Structure 1
Amino acid sequence: MSLIAVENLSVRYGANTVLNHINLTVEPGEIVTIVGPNGSGKTSLFRAIIGAAQPSAGRITQRPGLRIGYVPQKLHIDPTLPMTVERFMRLMGPAGRKDCDQALATAGVPDIAMRQMSELSGGQFQRVMLARALINAPDVLLLDEATQGLDQPGSASFYRQIEAVRRDTNCAVLMISHELHVVMSASDRVICLNGHICCAGTPAVVASAPEYRALFGTGTGGALALYQHDHDHHHHDGDDHDHGHNGGARRTEAAE
């Protein structure tokens, strides 16, 4: 069965309907990206899925025993507070050193367990957040604009890591993002949201859909096609950091 199934979901705040008749599923091992303009209901949908917002109609079901890992948009840690990466990882619950090291390695930041959280770069910090979400071997990762504040090469590198995590753990991924040309190409399915589902399908199908172009224009179409070409022909299992930087440069040129 599906990991998550959203059926005929509506969410209202007072008289304002922010989501209307939403239907979607997340299947084992797939990457699903939700895109949409500001105010389109992306956050409300996410909050409903994780149980932080009450549906006004419809229902959301999860596979029994489903384990969810959550990577939030932002997390502020007082820079004057001494805290190692390993201690931060253990704040969520009991975890051994081996579990922490394994999760950090899967997230692409091995050997930093004893570093201070305040000393990490933005990209390292987000990968530690990813590692913390991975520590309980989740069936599905939920990412809420997890690259907020990173530059384009950093975002591209982070999403390469998400693809590697999916490959290595077969963990499904449901993510919300505004970085269309980076995220769509890393997705199996894309759902375009604007209070309702405007269009859904593979990245290529959604990028060419009139509803998508009405919301976002055609500028990302060329970038998407170029990124897919690069992704299909140059994907490798090596250091994704350099690959992300190169890919970011190419995508920037295409977007211009």
Structure 2
Amino acid sequence: MTDPLVTLDNLTVRFDKRPVVDRVNLKVHRGDIITVIGPNGAGKTTLIKAILGIQKVSDGKVSLRKGLVIGYVPQHLTLEATLPLSVKRFMLLSGMPLAECESALARTGVRQLLDASVHHLSGGEKQRLLLARALARKPDLLVLDEPAQGVDINGQASLYDLIRQLRDELNCGVIMISHDLHLVMAATDKVICLNQHVCCSGSPADISHDPAFIETFGQPVAESLAVYHHHHNHRHDLHGDVVAAGPHRAHTGHEGCDHAHH
């Protein structure tokens, strides 16, 4: 295996002497999709910020591979409501050439919005815009904080599928935070359950049986993740509408079909 893109070695972050992230060890390699889950206040966003270098580390170490290019998708796009801003202008603020920006927008399915106002985009369109901005940098590592925030369940399934495709195309690593437990179990290779410290980690199939996972999220959730399977033969666009039929596939977790359960 190649050298990791990111290595966390006993990473600890404290606020007012209280550990928010406590002795976390993690390695992210090319091709990995690693999802961090956990209750509110578990330290997930703090962990991401430490990787990005925007949160000071109290103890331990974050090591990034030399020359690592990171594409970051924040949880929210916060803009001044009175500031006129088109999608094109927003992308160009990344410092990337227009051709790269347009290519990234096309890849995430929102090229037609180039001249639209960012303020008027739907939740799904905003998330795909943020993903395009990260993609334009041709990152070695994609870091996503709740990438499906504000997107309906069909759009979420489509977005996670796109993230998998981008991982394959770029041969990059992906680390993301998610609360969408059913969906993320079909979209990730490894799950880390964080509650300040790492409660448990492993493949989606394994972690759903782990006592620490069950204690954190509850037996019904764990059971549904372990046994829920269905097939579908279509895919959705960013609005969640069915746009095409395709090969019959099986997944664990909700894939955005109209019979999704909650």
Greater mean deviation of Cα atoms: 149-158 or 23-32: 149-158
CA–CA distance in 2 between the matches of 1:82 and 1:56? 40
Normalising by structure 2, we get a TM-score of: 0.86
Give 1:203 shift: 0.5
For the aligned residues, what is the CA RMSD? 2.3
Letter in 1 for 2:66: P
CA offsets 1:209-235 (integer angstroms, 9 cap, x no match)? 1110010013333543566554xx758
CA–CA distance in 2 between the matches of 1:197 and 1:250? 34
Name the structure 2 match of 1:103.
Answer: 104
The percentage of counterpart residues that share the same residue type is: 45
- Correspondence 1:248 to 2:252: no
User: What does 1:1-256 correspond to in 2, within 5 Å?
Assistant: 1-93=3-95, 95-225=96-226, 229-230=230-231, 234=233, 241-242=240-241, 247-249=255-257, 252-253=260-261, 255=262
In structure 2, the residue corresponding to 1:111 is in which secondary structure? helix
Letter in 1 for 2:218: G
Return closer, same or farther for 1:107/1:51 CA change in 2, 3 Å cut-off: same
CA–CA distance in 2 between the matches of 1:40 and 1:164? 29
CA offsets 1:167-197 (integer angstroms, 9 cap, x no match)? 2222211001111111122001000111111
Contact 1:227 1:251 in 2 (8 A): no
Say which structure is richer in helix: 1
Q: Which 5+ residue runs of structure 2 have no aligned equivalent?
A: 244-253
Contact 2:75 2:146 in 1 (8 A): yes
Contact 1:152 1:248 in 2 (8 A): yes
CA–CA distance in 1 between the matches of 2:165 and 2:131? 12
Contact 2:75 2:149 in 1 (8 A): yes
Give 1:206 shift: 0.7
CA offsets 1:9-67 (integer angstroms, 9 cap, x no match)? 11111221122221011110111000011111112211211112222211110110000
Q: Which 5+ residue runs of structure 1 have no aligned equivalent?
A: none
Contact 2:155 2:237 in 1 (8 A): no
Letter in 2 for 1:91: L
Letter in 1 for 2:142: L
Return closer, same or farther for 1:227/1:126 CA change in 2, 3 Å cut-off: farther
